[in-house]
Chain A
Amino acid sequence: MIVQRKSDIFFSSLAVGILLMCLIFLDAAVSRHLDRDLVLERREIVKVLALTDLCLFTEARYTRHPSMADLHTPFQDHPLALEHFPSGAIMTIPPHLKPQAQR
């Protein structure tokens, strides 16, 4: 009877792991190829309607359109108001609003 060595099982599972990684990259490449039309459609909408932002967070106006926001909107209630929208906490400040980028 042939007894399978533990190292064989380890190397087999390692090969399965590497194969899974290859499958992930393959799936990503195939999805990118298949989604080309989808991306073009989204680009067309952006172009036709002159849109500037992704519709990810609709809870506050500065998170709905972060690129169009100004520095003061997160503190619109009063100058010492704390940021209270969850999405406002995830997002970092757009680079063009940082003081050194102010034109």
Chain B
Amino acid sequence: MGAIEKQRHILDFTLSSLGRRKGKNIALVLVYTFVIFLLASVLFLTDALKKEASLILQDSPDITVQRLVAGRQDLIPLHYSDAISQIRGVQSVEPRLWGYYYDDLSGANYTLMVNPELNDHGGEIIIGTGVSRRNAPGRQDQALGKKDVIPFKTYEGSVVALTVRGLLPSASELVSADLVLLSATDFRKIFPFAQDQATDLVLKVRNSKELATIAAKIIQLHPDCRPIVREDILRTYDAVFDWRGGATLMVLSGVFFAFIILAWDKATGLSAEEKREIGILKAIGWETSDILLMKFWEGAAVSLTAFFMGIFLAYLHIFLTSPLLFAPFLKGWSVLYPHFRLTPAINGYQIAVLFFLTVIPYTVVTIVPSWRSATIDPDSVMRM
């Protein structure tokens, strides 16, 4: 009998043996699939968000300069830009006027931002699609559109009614869902910003290799300022969605320890029926190596089935059905959240991580107790 034929006979026997304990093994595969599904879902979601952030935010400002007062961000005087624009390598310095607005009617937080193109269109705003969905009082089933009016409460208590001039493209919802673009005049009606103040300054730099040097010079010129270079922004999203840190790690470790318990239960011993089976096989002439092979195939059959099913279901969950299970976790207390579809970002590294975290340990722990039983005298094993 050839080596391949021998393996197939052992595999045939293993699968029949698994079939005899159908209920237990189906339950095991389902739980195992769920564990891999959760691990893979977290991994796919965090990596896809990281990838999306790294692609989209490549064109974010080279340097953003904030002013800190008593450890908190404060408004920056516009004259700060005079000295900063003189630094060699700085191409342009633009003030940004933006802030957060809590809308009483919808309970949502908006980001209000001045767009210079609207400065000639006072009283008009361009809104993100998230804002259009939330800000339709009494018309929840209908989104806001052009010519609709949104009232904003000013810092003085009066109300400014701004007309929707247009909507930002829904494709950009991942970066613009909560944006309300307006003119500087309207912005200053709502928030008490003096004419010579801005939220922060954004810099364009000729050579991206000089970013760190320019950032250091800005601190020398204005020690109360904090420059944030583009790499900081990109690194932020790398860290925020790092599956090896934060609450993601807590969720993952919960799942992983559930899996360890499952594997531990398997490793600490075989059932009496399984031990008797090993004893009978030894008695009829099976070698210890054949029994280990049988157990290897058993572990491989269960873990590979769960592995493929878990990964496939996780892919469907994250990229084709939007992350339903994680939605409450991601939305948190937000009233306004973007509707977006993530571009799949999967690679061999993720699959290898999942494989080595799940399939390999399970297969190993299936073999170890069998080896212990297979090396005992068959007579004593059958009498157990």
Contacts and interface: CB of A to CB of B under 8 A. Distances in A.
Interface residues of B, number: 89
Nearest to B237: A54
B243 to A, nearest CB: 10
Contact of A10 (B242, B301, B334): B301
B15 A51 contact: no
Interface string A28-53: 10011001001101111111011111
A55 B176 contact: yes
Nearest to A24: B315
A78 interface: no
A55 to B, nearest CB: 5
B109 to A, nearest CB: 5
Interface string B258-290: 000000000000000000000000000000000
A64 B59 contact: no
Contact of A52 (B16, B61, B337): B61
- Give the interface SS of chain A, mostly helix, strand, loop or mixed: helix
Interface string B23-43: 000000000000000000000
B176 A50 contact: no
B245 A92 contact: yes
Interface stretch (B135-143, B150-158, B325-333): B325-333
A32 B344 contact: yes
B382 interface: no
A7 B337 contact: no
Interface in A54-103: 54-59, 61, 63-68, 70-73, 85-87, 89-96, 103
B226 interface: yes
What is the interface residue range for chain A against chain B? 35 or more
B95 to A, nearest CB: 10
A94 B338 CA distance: 22
Given A6-B15, A21-B312, A58-B111, 16 more contacts: A21-B308, A28-B319, A31-B319, A32-B345, A45-B172, A46-B59, A52-B64, A52-B233, A54-B52, A54-B57, A55-B177, A59-B109, A66-B236, A68-B64, A92-B246, A94-B235
Interface of B: 8, 11-12, 15-16, 19, 49, 52-53, 55-61, 64, 66, 68, 71-73, 94, 96, 100, 108-109, 111, 113, 115, 128, 130, 168-169, 171-179, 181, 200, 202, 215-216, 219, 226-228, 232-233, 235-240, 242, 245-248, 301, 304-305, 307-309, 311-312, 315, 319, 329-330, 332-338, 343-346, 351
Interface of A: 5-7, 9-10, 13-14, 16-18, 20-21, 24-25, 27-28, 31-32, 35, 38-39, 41-47, 49-59, 61, 63-68, 70-73, 85-87, 89-96, 103
